[in-house]
Structure 1
Amino acid sequence: MTGRGGFVRRTSWDLAGKRALVTGAAGAFGTATVERLRERGATVVGLDLRKSDDVIECDLTQPELIPAAVDEAIGRLGGLDLLINNAGIGVPALAGDAPDATARKVIEVNLFAGWGVTAAALPALREAKGRVIFVSSGLAYVTLPLAASYLVSKRAIDTYADALRIENGRHLDVSVIYPGYVPTPIHDASLARGVDLGMFLPAETVAQVVGTIVDVAAARRPPRNRASTRTTGIGVAMARHLPSVADRIVRSRTNQRRRGLGELTDRLGKI
């Protein structure tokens, strides 16, 4: 899955010396992304709930806190060339249930946090003719049961990225990354309720996802979107262009593997 990310014209894009901000910097993807960017010579500051020397504490579900945290990061960096919106959470949710506080938090973290950080960082990014990367999910298009709020939030990232790209034209590159299933702590809440998304999707590694993020960050002509593995890319492409086929595959696998889907399957029914 590739395509031109924006309209910025460049002769090169060397990460050495670039100033980068990474959200969710203390998580599995975030920590590894920060490390890889620094190995490539970038200067990096993070945002996360857990503070450290180069990570600014910020609860991204509190929108009033975001502008000051982003300003502090830009001040430390002396400007901003690259923003990686990586923060995300996932919790099981049925589409037939009214959205509760947990479902709303998933959308707040996965969508509105990145939106808020991007808006706060936009003047500095436009000045630098920089780039923004959103870490979405293959589940933005491959629709599985029992994950409604997560699916909604990840699909919405694509639409926001499209709007950001068209509004900023030559001033900004915008890319979206689609990881597949990676067994990291983001899935702990789902596993605690017996919902194992790894039953549906081939596992990927943190290294594969982070390698994709950094490759896109360093690309002279960054892609509009990029899956972290060929298998995930094929799944996303099928779900986007042949949705009825993808739905049949998901229904078949769900009905075959109901015993491994935990307490929520009693309310799901045969699909």
Structure 2
Amino acid sequence: MSNPSEHQRRSAVVTGAGGGLGRDIALGLAAKGYIVFGTAMSAEEIQDLKHASGGRVSLAVCDMTKEQVVKAWAGGVSDALGDTGLDLLINNAGILTPGPIEVLPLEAIKREFDVNVFGALSVMNTFLPALRTARGRIVQVSTWTASIPLPFNGPSGASKAAMEVFSAVYRAELKSFGIDVVVAPAGNMKTGGPAKTAAALTHIADAMTPEQRELYGQPFATFADKLNGMQEAGLDSVLAAQRVIELAEEVPAPSIAPVGDDAAEMLRAARQMSDAEQDALRLRIVGLN
């Protein structure tokens, strides 16, 4: 990555910057002098970040599932950056679709991949010319469940695992252009996520048929309690954002680095445990052992 002192202004793009971890990353970068662009879900989020950052964060409502919308937004940002290019792209936007795979509508799983995978790919590809100009860096925010997938959390782990594979391929394909690609698997965090997760868990449970509830009701309720508890006890969002920014600026760039102690522990488990041990671990984590 180019040394920040080489540019009069450093630039960054953060997807999913309207709330939670993305918001704290955007504010942290702005505080360090970056000019920050990003995506949000609403006009209210845009105004909030503009005010909180003193105008250094410029967000736009962008539907990550619509390729042409993503290209139009990213193209506009690239035009605004001009000849200086883009120093940093942090792919943070994502959704969570918990539930038994048998119960989840296939369209819901497809939507998670549309946001977490195909939306992320659209953003990365559109910004590559600007990243090449600045010899910039991409940080893909992931999750430890991409390495130790959990029952009732399949779409999240699978979609983030897909992006970890794409990131490894990008790292190789973009090396000759001076573009670093870092994967940052995050652990549990105290963000706006827990409330959204709790709502999603309740929605899935309420939508189960009597037959599905007979099959999955009790274990899914146990999983929901465990997941809510893990998120509420997670790393403070501001501290997690600081860690992501550290990885964005670390020289040399790490290929993959955890965000949070629990993420580090799970990555070690994925490297060191046998398949049988990992199977037992994933059940124990969600209280189903």
TM-score range, shorter chain: 0.7 to 0.9
Counterpart-to-counterpart distance in 2, 1:16 and 1:218: 16
1:16 and 1:221 map into 2 onto residues whose CA distance is: 22
Corresponding position of 2:174: 168
Q: Which moved more, 1:186-195 or 1:218-227?
A: 186-195
**Residue 185 of structure 2 corresponds to which residue in structure 1?**
178
Q: Is residue 2:10 matched to residue 1:18?
A: yes
- 1:262 maps to none
Contact preservation (8 Å) 2:143, 2:263: no
The residue number in structure 2 matching 1:268 is none
Distance apart, 1:13 and its partner CA: 4.1
CA distance in structure 2 between the partners assigned to 1:188 and 1:61 by the alignment: 23
Which amino acid letter does the alignment assign opposite residue 74 of structure 1?
S
Matched pairs, number = 248
* Matched position secondary structure for 1:132: strand
Q: Higher mean Cα deviation, 135-144 or 236-245?
A: 236-245
Instruction: Note if contact 1:181-1:198 (Cα within 8 Å) is conserved in structure 2.
Output: no
Shift of residue 225, structure 1, vs aligned partner: 0.9
Within a 5 Å distance, the mapping from 1:23-172 to structure 2 comes to: 23-51=15-43, 52=46, 54-78=58-82, 79-97=85-103, 99-171=105-177, 172=179
Distance 1:37 1:252, change over 3 A: closer
Displacement, 1:16?
7.0
Q: In the alignment, what sits opposite 1:233?
A: 264
Q: Which amino acid aligns with 2:153?
A: A
Give the structure with the higher percent helix.
2
- 1:246 is paired with a residue whose SS is helix
Q: TM-score, normalised by structure 2?
A: 0.78
Aligned partners of 2:105 and 2:122: how far apart in 1? 22
Change (3 A) 1:103 1:220: same
CA contact (8 A) 2:194 2:228 kept: no
CA spacing shift, 1:247–1:199, aligned 2, 3 Å = farther
Q: What is the TM-score with the length of structure 1 in the denominator?
A: 0.83
Contact kept in structure 1, 2:143 and 2:187, CA below 8 Å: yes
Distance in 1, Cα, partners of 2:73 & 2:137: 19
After superposition, give the CA deviation of every residue in 1:125-144 in whole Å (9 maximum; x if it has no partner): 11211110011111111221
> Is the Cα contact below 8 Å between 1:18 and 1:81 reproduced in 2?
yes
In 2, the alpha carbon distance for the partners of 1:181 and 1:56 equals 27
1:46 counterpart SS class: strand
For residue 47 of structure 1, give the secondary structure of its aligned residue in structure 2.
Answer: strand
- Unaligned regions of 5+ residues in structure 1, if any? 1-7, 259-270
Aligned equivalents of 1:231, 1:223: Cα separation in 2: 19
What is the distance in 1 between the residues matched to 2:234 and 2:160? 19
Q: CA deviation at 1:96?
A: 3.4
Whether contact under 8 Å (2:198, 2:228) holds in the other structure is: no
1:204 corresponds to 2:208: no
Cα deviations by residue, 1:102-155 (Å, 9 ceiling, x for unpaired): 221111111111111001101111121111001111111122110111111111
| Equivalent pair of 2:184/2:257 in contact (CA under 8 Å) | yes
- 1:4 corresponds to: none
**CA separation in 1, counterparts of 2:59 and 2:254?**
28
- Give the superposed CA RMSD: 2.2
- Give 1:244 deviation, angstroms: 2.9
Structure 1: how far apart are the matches of 2:36 and 2:285?
42
Structure 1 residue 215 corresponds to structure 2 residue 246: yes
Instruction: Quote the Cα distance in structure 2 between the aligned partners of 1:157 and 1:43.
Output: 26
Quick check: 1:136–1:176 contact (8 Å CA) kept in 2? Answer: yes
Sequence identity (%)? 26
Amino acid at match of 2:185: Y
